[in-house]
Structures are given as structure tokens and as C-alpha cells.
Amino acid sequence: MKLYWFVLLVSMVISGCTPQAPAVRNGRAVRTVWRGGDLNDSSTLAEVLSYYKTMSSLSQSAVEVERRLARAALAQDGEIAHLRLALLYMLPADKVRDPERALVQLKALADAKLAARPAFAAFIQLLKHDYTQQKEMQLKNIILRRRLRQAERERREVALKLQKNKEKAAALRRQIQQLKDIERIMNNR
């Protein structure tokens, strides 16, 4: 994951790309926010990374508009459209974040010319690696949540037994006190 962000940062520095604000009319993005020309199959990795950085800084509504535009670009069957849509599904702060769909888009690029370009092949592998790490973390989180719930149940059971033992101990103390009272009464006679 750190490698991914390092590659992103280095690419941004090398390319000198800066994110651009989307064209907004009445509070809604009206067209793609990409200002460096159309992303197409001849785009560089720096342009794609700049696009990703720009997308990660936008509002949810602007990202949704961009996602619709990316889906429409799939109909034109551009290879970059698959990568673009995968990036949109992998945005960290996106409430529609869906790594499964992103992986489907990346698998669609497996035999593409774009994936044959070394920089893109490495980037696609990095995205796939990020996806597998996320899945592993999700599985670990599920296991840890189960263990936590089990530990909480066991803690409640122990607390319940402790309460019962305290009640039994209090009852025994009362009985002992009653026996001492009876013994005292018997000795006073």
C-alpha cells in the first residue's frame, strides 16, 4: 500500500500535474473533470495518476457524475475506460467504493495493449495487489470481530458466574451470621 502511494507521488512530481476543480453549474459537475485532454489509450500513466488524484479530492456527487461518464466511455470500448472506471471504484473516500467491480475492470484489461505497456502493467499489478491486501484485511477483520464477540460472550458469562458466586457467598454469610446468632442465644441461656 505504501508503495502505491509512493508511485503515485513520484508520478505526480515528475509529471508536474496538479488537480483541477470540476466545472460546476448549480452545484453539479457538468462534464468530466479531466482538464488535460481526453484520457485515451495513448495517455501516460502520469495523466492517469493525476486523474486519480483529482478524483480523490472531489465531492461524492462529482465522483458519481464522473463514474457515469466512465461507464458511457466503456461503450466506446476504449481500454483506458476500464482503467478509469477501476480507479473510480477504488477511491478511498468514496461511499460507493467497490474493489470487486474494480477488479472486474482490471481483469478486462488483462489481454489489452494497455496492459502490455510496462508502466501500466506495473500499475495494474499494483492495483490488483492493493485489492488482494484489502480482501485479506477484510477477512482478518471479520475473524477479529468474531473473536471479539466470542470474548465478549465469555466475559458476560464469567461476569454472570461471578455475580451468582457473590450472591451465594452473601447467602452463606447470612447463614453463618444466623448460626452465630443462634449459638450466642444458646450460650446466653
What does the pLDDT look like over 130-178, one tens digit per residue?
888 888 998 999 999 999 999 999 999 999 999 999 999 999 999 999 9
- Per-residue confidence of the chain (189 residues) as pLDDT tens digits? 555 555 544 454 454 444 334 444 445 544 555 444 556 666 677 777 888 888 878 788 888 888 888 888 777 767 777 788 888 887 776 566 777 777 777 777 777 777 677 777 787 788 788 888 888 998 999 999 999 999 999 999 999 999 999 999 999 999 999 999 999 999 987
Q: What is the dihedral of CA 46, 48, 52, 53, to 10 degrees?
A: 20
Nearest alpha-carbon partner for 48 in 128, 127, 130, 110: 127
**Assign residue 16 a region: left if phi > 0, alpha if psi is -120 to 50, beta otherwise?**
left
